[in-house]
A = this chain, B = another copy of it.
């Protein structure tokens, strides 16, 4: 089998003619599919419906320490929830704050607080001429949207299968006092599904930032989101590692149950050092009297402990695994050996990342859209939505049904072939 690059003009022209016919067939199918965002499907949501039963009008909504979950109070969360999320995040419950329903909101507020009041006594970022964040790319668009909104300059750092290029991270962090943070999705990363290696985590914990108020924004969104029982990525716990390295205050770690129970009705949490905790609660106590304790209790009673949550995540995996495998199989079947793209095969998380030929991503996504399949906009995985190579596409296989997904994946592969062939033909010149 020839790669596209090896094909002659004529062969490419024939291929394009053939592909266009197929594309027209898809266009005739009246497809309307949205696979743009990493959202759970209905079957996944159904897994948590029993959570609606754990509290009723006869329930005692009192915590072990006597806190009435129905009333005001408990700024940092109820003990039971800190324990559950502590087990989930592999942190000491006392190092955890339980928030409301959205870890994105916690991250926004964390940047906002640094902007308005600084970190542990440092100059508020709003008073500085220049604030920069490192952004491993491809990455998560909503992270980038936060830093962009605050006028923070974003510096892309290449991702590798073991994490960001640590030599670059170490250099930038050590040399430039304006570098105040880095966005990380350390496990089953968004969008590649890569997990940081032991060495990467150890080097993170041993960063020597020029700025005292530099923090790692460690968004462990997919810590529990394995696809397999027998093959799982392992991530070193960063807080403990930072403490060991003598850098206890270096990291803010975020997580939530959004993709465990219900997105929008889960509980979010932040884990960090005692110094950072003091700094944060000093602000938090002005912002609110406390978050939703009834929902915290609901989660605690639903899972009954970390083992319940692990079991629960197996059910999610059973739903998602076939979807990921189907997409990977279709990509392999349709694109394997053609030399026009590569894709990741993650063991967990919510995404597959596709790397097209340079200059093709936008056209592929546009082609798919025109035939009825909406994907994440090309470029979204880069700061400012600008992918300099135009070759990064995020595939979100979780939401569509298996049936719809197979159509979408077939169409996607077709669009990759068509756009790549056209591109290569164009490059051969007239």
Report A's interface with B, CB cutoff 8 A: 37, 39-40, 42, 45, 48-50, 52-53, 55-57, 59, 61, 68-74, 100-102, 104-105, 108-109, 112, 115-117, 124, 126-127, 142, 145-146, 149-150, 258, 262-265, 283, 286-295
Q: A53-B56, A150-B116, A287-B105 known; A100 and B292 CB under 8 Å?
A: yes
Q: How far, in angstroms, from A45 to B72 measured CA to CA in the complex?
A: 11
Do the beta carbons of B45 and A101 come within 8 Å of each other? no
Using known A-B contacts A70-B45, A263-B70, determine if residue A105 contacts B57 with beta carbons closer than 8 Å: no
A101-B100, A108-B286, A112-B116 given; A263·B57 CB < 8 A: no
User: Do the beta carbons of A72 and B115 come within 8 Å of each other?
Assistant: no
**Which of B57, B116, B117 contacts A50, CB < 8 Å?**
B57
* Docked CA distance A49–B74 (Å): 20
- Report the copy number of this chain in the oligomer: 2
User: Do B48 and A52 have beta carbons less than 8 Å apart?
Assistant: no
**Contact of A71 with B40 in the complex, beta carbons under 8 Å:** yes
Q: Beyond A108-B288, A288-B102, A288-B105, is A262–B71 a contact (Cβ under 8 Å)?
A: yes
Q: Give the residues in chain B near A42, CB-CB below 8 Å.
A: 68
Using CB atoms, name the residue of chain B closest to A108: B287
* Alpha-carbon gap, A416 to B57, bound state (A): 43
Is there an interface contact between B112 and A292, defined as CB atoms closer than 8 Å? no
A-B contact pairs, 21 of them (CB 8 A): A45-B70, A50-B57, A52-B59, A53-B57, A69-B265, A70-B264, A71-B262, A72-B263, A100-B291, A101-B292, A102-B291, A104-B288, A108-B286, A109-B287, A112-B112, A115-B126, A145-B286, A149-B283, A263-B289, A264-B292, A264-B293
